[in-house]
Amino acid sequence: MLELMLFTNDLDLACQAEKAGIDRIVIDLENRGKEERQHGYHLECNCHSLDDLKKMRQKVKIPILCRINAFNDNTKKEIKDVLNLGADIIMLPMFKRTEEVKNFISLVNKKAKTCLLLEDKEAFQIAPQIAEMDFDEIYIGLNDLAISFKKKFCYEFLLNGKLDYLRKIFKDKKFGFGGITVIDKGKPLPARLILKEMARLNSDMAILRRAFKRDIKGRFLKEEVSKIKELSERYLKRSNDDVLKDKKEVQDEIRNILKI
């Protein structure tokens, strides 16, 4: 079943999310260069802290994924700190070299699960070498990857085959990409269409995007989470003909968004 991840340092929301069936809470410590990199793109920048991680660990029982900064001179300390505070999974963003990934895996030393966030052109180019390493999960960060490749729309990667290529490269790893909201919302690409492609590519996990927090207002959180998971399961059971038909529907919608 598709695992859902929610970025939040709001303890009350996290408790509601746990009861509703959301599978992970994400504490986001990444701040080095993120605002400059994403300037003008209206993307989510969080301001979470180690204290947020400490309080969250005391509050929820579901796994906590902690995104640290891109590999730097302080990474060893960052990893030690989040391990001491109870992070179950540590995510490394914006890696560009194989040595960064090797050192990250070594520093975590299997004391938590390791998740790589592939979101840069240079990381894309070294994907075959990365796939051979001993880590647990990989998530494709489409927004930053689109910035790196100078693409207008992050889901263009479903048109040009790059996401399919990455799924094949990382066929033995837990895999995720993109972000979704409630199934009847999502702009410019509806959540239900993204879920179709997540199912086609056997995505194991998905981030609940910033819009999700807005879209659930006035709704029952548990009901909306159940709808997402049930629809995902239904898409996994499609015939091959339906998968191809739905893939064309998604690609046509992306072309329409891009006006091509």
The answer to whether 183 and 227 have CB atoms below 8 angstroms apart is: yes
Answer yes or no: is pLDDT of 10 > 70. yes
Q: Which residue has the higher pLDDT, 260 or 76?
A: 76
Quickly state the pLDDT bin for 40 (edges 50, 70, 90): very low
Lowest mean pLDDT across 30-39, 67-76, 87-96, 141-150: 30-39
Q: What is the mean pLDDT of residues 98-117?
A: 98
Q: What is the mean pLDDT of residues 72-98?
A: 98
Q: Which residue has the higher pLDDT, 22 or 47?
A: 22
Q: Which residue has the higher pLDDT, 153 or 35?
A: 153
At 137, give phi and psi (nearest 5°).
-140, 155
Q: What is the DSSP letter of 158?
A: G
Q: What is the mean pLDDT of residues 101-110?
A: 98
Q: Other C-beta atoms within 10 Å of 149: how many?
A: 15
Q: What is the DSSP letter of 155?
A: G
Tokens of 63: 């796994």
Helix (H) or strand (E) holding 243: helix 240-258
The answer to whether 183 and 192 have CB atoms below 8 angstroms apart is: yes
Structural domains in the chain (count) = 1
At 41, give phi and psi (nearest 5°).
-105, -5
Q: What is the mean pLDDT of residues 201-221?
A: 97
Contacts of 115 (CB under 8 A, 6+ apart): 65, 89, 90, 91, 92, 135, 136, 137, 138, 139
Closest CA to 67 of 102, 36, 99, 112: 112
The answer to whether 69 and 30 have CB atoms below 8 angstroms apart is: yes
Number of H helices, E strands in the chain: 13, 8
Tokens of 153: 């729309």
Q: What is the mean pLDDT of residues 203-212?
A: 97
What's the pLDDT score for residue 45? Answer: 59
Quickly state the pLDDT bin for 43 (edges 50, 70, 90): low
- Tally the residues of the chain: 260
What's the pLDDT score for residue 41? Answer: 43
Distance, in Å, from the CA atom of 206 to the CA atom of 140, rounded to the nearest integer, reads 10
**Which tens digits make up the pLDDT trace of 218-251?**
999 999 999 999 999 999 999 999 999 999 999 9
**Which tens digits make up the pLDDT trace of 151-171?**
999 999 999 999 999 999 999
Closest CA to 155 of 169, 139, 142, 140: 142
Q: pTM of the full predicted structure? A: 0.94
Q: What's the mean per-residue pLDDT of the chain?
A: 95
Q: Which residues span the domain enclosing 248?
A: 3-258
Give the CATH number of the domain where residue 212 resides. 3.20.20.60
